[in-house]
Amino acid sequence: MQLSPDSPAAGRPSFDLSQDEIATVVDLLCCGSAEARQVVTGGMLEVPITIQVKKAMRRLKRRLGLTNLQIGGEFELLDVDDNDATVQGRIDVVFQFLHQFGNEDAYLAVECKRVSPDDNSLNRRYVTEGVSRFASEQYASGHEWGMLLAYVLRLPAPDLVAGIDAHVRRQYGQASQLAPVEKHPDALEMHTSAVPRATSGHFIRLLHIFVDMTPAGENR
């Protein structure tokens, strides 16, 4: 993976995340998704699934005694112009660690999307309404990392990932291809990609986490 040598996080330490912090977020997302899957029903939409995932993550956070981070949802991005503030977008899930508290611009953004190997429209939206929000800098402006949590509605996942990878490469170039990384035990697949940002000339590193969200007990 080739990243811009001019890191988008340079000079902004509150935006930096350690490998331990990234691993903590991955663990919460994957374990929270596995727990939430027990109450997912067929046809459930993204928002109610994400609500269940956030509830599960907050329960896990309390059990683990993690007091150095907070988990938020429907995080509003405001474009402030003098006395007028307009909402430019709402991020599905945000994490803030202790060193980021008090700075609304410092967070780790997670965009949640449903995907399925037999629904190309969902998979296309994963790119056009998910990846694109990071590439356009609508989300995570100036950040080095962003994450996408893919709710896999039907297995198998490898075929699905190949299709999404093709969408990403068509949109953002061959260098943006999804590269597999060691996956969490509760993830189906995990991949990274480096996507160019529209205005800054930097790249943002995206972690794609695919989790099983087929209704528990469903014959797959």
For residue 86, CA distances in Å to 47, 78, 138, 166 come to 22, 6, 13, 35
Task: List, in order, residues 6 or more apart from 119 with CB less than 8 Å away.
Answer: 153
Q: Is the pTM of this model over 0.75?
A: yes
Task: List, in order, residues 6 or more apart from 84 with CB less than 8 Å away.
Answer: none
For residue 18, CA distances in Å to 9, 107, 184 come to 12, 13, 17
Whether residue 118 is predicted with pLDDT greater than 50 in this model: the reply is: yes
In a domain, 3, yes or no: no
**Average pLDDT, integer, range 136-162:** 91
Task: List, in order, residues 6 or more apart from 104 with CB less than 8 Å away.
Answer: none
Whether residue 197 is predicted with pLDDT greater than 70 in this model: the reply is: yes
In a domain, 8, yes or no: no
Report the mean per-residue pLDDT for the chain.
85
Give one DSSP letter per residue of 3-23, joined into a string: --SS-TTTT-GGG---HHHHH
pLDDT in tens, 166-194: 999 999 999 899 999 999 999 999 999 99
Number of domains in the chain: 1
Alpha helices in the chain (DSSP H): 19-36, 46-64, 120-126, 132-135, 157-172
In a domain, 30, yes or no: yes
pLDDT in tens, 64-83: 999 999 998 765 554 545 45
In a domain, 60, yes or no: yes
HSE of 74, CA atoms in CB hemisphere, 13 A: 5
CATH number at residue 40: 3.40.91
Write out the residue range of the structural domain in which residue 68 sits. Answer: 13-212
pLDDT in tens, 7-38: 443 335 457 788 999 999 999 999 999 999 99
In a domain, 143, yes or no: yes
In a domain, 2, yes or no: no
Task: List, in order, residues 6 or more apart from 7 with CB less than 8 Å away.
Answer: 144, 202
